[in-house]
Amino acid sequence: MRERLGAIRGFVFRYKQFSFAAVMAVVGLGLQLAGLGVAAHWILGLSAAILTIPLLLEMVRDLRMGAYGVDILAITAIVTALIMGEYWVGMVIVLMLTGGHALEDFAENRAKREMSALLNNAPHRAHIIRGQKELNVPVSDVKPGDKIVIRPGEVVPVDAQIVDGHAHFDESSLTGESTPEEKGAGAELLSGAVNLDGMITAKALRSAADSQYEQIVKLVRQAAASKAPFVRMADRFAIPFTIVSFAIAAGAWLLSGDSLRFLQVMVVATPCPLILAAPIAIMSGMSRASKAGIIVKNGTALERLAGARSFAFDKTGTLTHGKLRVARVTSYGDFDETAVIGAAAALEKASNHIVASAIVQRAEKMKVKLTKVKHVYEAAGQGLHGTAGGHRIHVGRASFLTEQGIAVPAGAKAQSVKQTSTFVAIGGVLAGIIYFEDEIRSDSKSTIKYLFAHGVQDIFLITGDNEATARTVAQAVGIPVRDVVAQALPIDKLKVVERVANPPVAFVGDGVNDAPVLVAADVGIALGAKGSTAASESADIVIMLDSLGKVVDAHRIARRTFMIARQSILVGIGLSVVLMIVFATGKFPPVLGAAVQEIVDVIVIFNALRAHVAGHRQS
C-alpha cells in the first residue's frame, strides 16, 4: 500500500508540474497576443526557471547515486535558452520534459493494470458455518477444516475442497486459462477463483495466509515493485550520446560563429525517448506475461530469459505429469491381470500412497469388483497386507514380500530397480507385478523443439529418478541422452547448473527439492502454482497454469519485449541525431525543434507500448 501511495504521489507531482507549465504557457501566449511581449517573457522565463529547479535537484541526486542519465541535455538546453533570451524555447522544452515524465508514469500504470487487478480483487470476507449458523467473517478468521459457503458471483476466499454442490469457476486471473471449469464434490478450489453459477459448500484446506491467492499476491507485489535494470542499457548510451550532442552543438556554433546554433541543436538533443522507451517496454512485457498467467518478478528475469542459451528441466511434474499410471501387469502361476489388480486395489483403496490411486483407477477402468478387506496393516514406505476372501494379500516392495517369506524372482527384483513397480502376493504366493509410468506431458516435445529452434544451444534433463527412466523420457521429448543427469540430489542439480558451458541458464521445476536450483539458476521458472510454495517463492518466474507450453509463451514474450525495447532506444537515438544535424544548419527556429522532439517522444513511447500486445505466434 505504501509503495502504491508513493507511486500515486509521484504521478500527481509530475502531473502538477506539467499542468503548471501548460497554464503558464497559455498565459504567456495570451500576453504575447495582447501586445505585452515583455510581460509574456517575464512569465515564461520565471515559470521555466522555477520548474527547472526540481528537475535539476533530481538530476543531482541521481548523479550522487551513480546514475548518469540524459536529463542533463534537456536541462542544459533550458538553461541555455533562458540565458539567450529564448523564453518560448525554454518553456516548450519544460513542457516536453514534464509532459514526457507524466506520460511515462501513465504508461507504466497502464501496463501494470493486469497485475494490480489481482490485488484489487483479493477476497476479504467469507461465509463460514459454525454449528447451525452461517457467519460472515473476515477471511483471516477461516481455519483449515472450516466449512464455507460460496455463492454465485463470489470469490473463493481460501483454498478449499467442494463438499456439496457444483458450479463453473473462472480461474483466469490465477492461471490465464479463459475457459471456466466445472467442478463438483471432491474437486479442489483455488482462492481467488470466481464462482459463476452455483451454490457451493466446501471445506477449507488452508488458512488465507497459506492459500493460493495470497501466494500470488506476494509474487505480484514483487513484480510491480521491481525496476527493470535494462534501464541501465539506456543510460550506457547516454554518455556517447551526450558527447555527440555537445560535439554537434559546439561544432555548429564554432563553424557559424552564431551562438544560437548551439541552442538549436541542444533543443532536439533532449532524448526523452532514451529515458522512456526501455522501462515502458519492460513493464508492458511483464503485464503481457501476467495476462497469460505468467508472473515475472523483475525485469532482470525477463532480460535473462530472453537471452537464455541453456535450459534445464526437472522430470517428475515438469516434463511429466507427476502422476503415476499402470503401464503393464505381469502375472504368475494361475493368476491373471484381473486377479492381480483386483487384490491390489482392494487393499490399496484406503491408502494415500502415490501408487494407490493409479491401481484403483486401473481397477475401475477394468470394472473389477473389489472384495472387502479386513485386518489391514500398512508398513510405512514398504507395503500393506490384509485378509480378503479367506486369503492373505501382500502389496508392496520386493523386500517387503521377501520379509514375509514370499519368494520373488531375482530378475523381477532387478527390473523393479529400473522401473517403479509394486509386487502383489495372494495366499503367500507371488501373483504378479504391477509396473507404473509417469505420463509425459503432451506439450513437452513441442516445447523442447521450440527452444532448440529459437537460439537455445543446450537443454538438460536433471532428475532424482533412475538412469533408465530418465533416458526414456529424454528420448521421447527430444533431449540428447548425453545431457541427462539422473539420480540427482538437490546439491547435484546445483552443480550441474553452475557448470553449464553456455549461460545464461534457465531451470524449470515444480517441487520443494527444486527450490535451491531455482535460486541458483540465472532464471528460475516454477511450473504450476498449485505445486510447491517453496518453488514458487524461490523462482524468478512463476507459471500459474500447470502447462509446460507456458514456458514457450514466457520465452516468446521475453524475446519480443527486448526486441521492442532495443528497437525503441535505437529509434530514439537515430531520430535525435538526424534532427541535430538538420537543426545545426540554422534554418529552423529553436521553438520548432522543441515541438518536433515532442512528436518523436510520443512515437517512441507508443512503439514501446507494443510489448503489451501479443505478437504474431511463431512455431
Catalytic residues, which ones?
Answer: 314
Q: Under DSSP, is residue 241 helix (H, G, I), strand (E, B) or coil?
A: helix
Q: Say which residues have a Cβ less than 8 Å from residue 74's Cβ, sequence separation at least 6.
A: 55, 93, 96, 97, 270, 271, 272
> Distance between CA atoms of 397 and 596, rounded to whole angstroms?
78
Beta strands 484-485; 294-296: pairing state: unpaired
CB atoms within 10 A of CB 38: 9
Asked if 337 and 331 touch (Cβ cutoff 8 Å), the reply is yes
What string of H, E and C letters represents the secondary structure of 505-556? Answer: EEEEECCHHHHHHHHHCCEEEEECCCCCHHHHHHCCEEECCCCCHHHHHHHH
Asked if 262 and 250 touch (Cβ cutoff 8 Å), the reply is yes
Cell of 578: 538526424
> Distance between CA atoms of 88 and 590, rounded to whole angstroms?
9
**How many CA atoms within 13 Å lie on the side-chain side of 304?**
22
CB atoms within 10 A of CB 153: 9
Residue 210, CA distances (Å) to 139, 148, 213, 502, 525 in order = 12, 16, 8, 38, 21
Asked if 218 and 533 touch (Cβ cutoff 8 Å), the reply is no
Instruction: Name 379's bridge partners.
Output: 383
Q: How far does Cα 238 stand from its chain's mean position?
A: 30
Phi, psi (rounded to 5 degrees) for 531? -85, -140
> Distance between CA atoms of 566 and 238, rounded to whole angstroms?
14
One-letter amino acid of 52: T
Residue 421, CA distances (Å) to 128, 316, 328, 343 in order = 44, 16, 10, 15
- How deeply is 577 buried, as exposed, middle or buried, from its count of CB atoms within 10 A (0-12, 13-18, 19+)? middle
> Distance between CA atoms of 308 and 602, rounded to whole angstroms?
32
Secondary structure element (H or E) that encloses residue 361, with its range: helix 354-365
Residues constituting the chain: 619
Q: Under DSSP, is residue 183 helix (H, G, I), strand (E, B) or coil?
A: strand
> Distance between CA atoms of 518 and 430, rounded to whole angstroms?
44
Q: Say which residues have a Cβ less than 8 Å from residue 368's Cβ, sequence separation at least 6.
A: 338, 341, 342, 345
Phi, psi (rounded to 5 degrees) for 194? -110, 125
Instruction: Name 168's bridge partners.
Output: 182
CB atoms within 10 A of CB 17: 21
What one-character DSSP code corresponds to residue 502?
A: S
Asked if 325 and 350 touch (Cβ cutoff 8 Å), the reply is no
> Distance between CA atoms of 386 and 349, rounded to whole angstroms?
12
Q: Say which residues have a Cβ less than 8 Å from residue 141's Cβ, sequence separation at least 6.
A: 126, 128
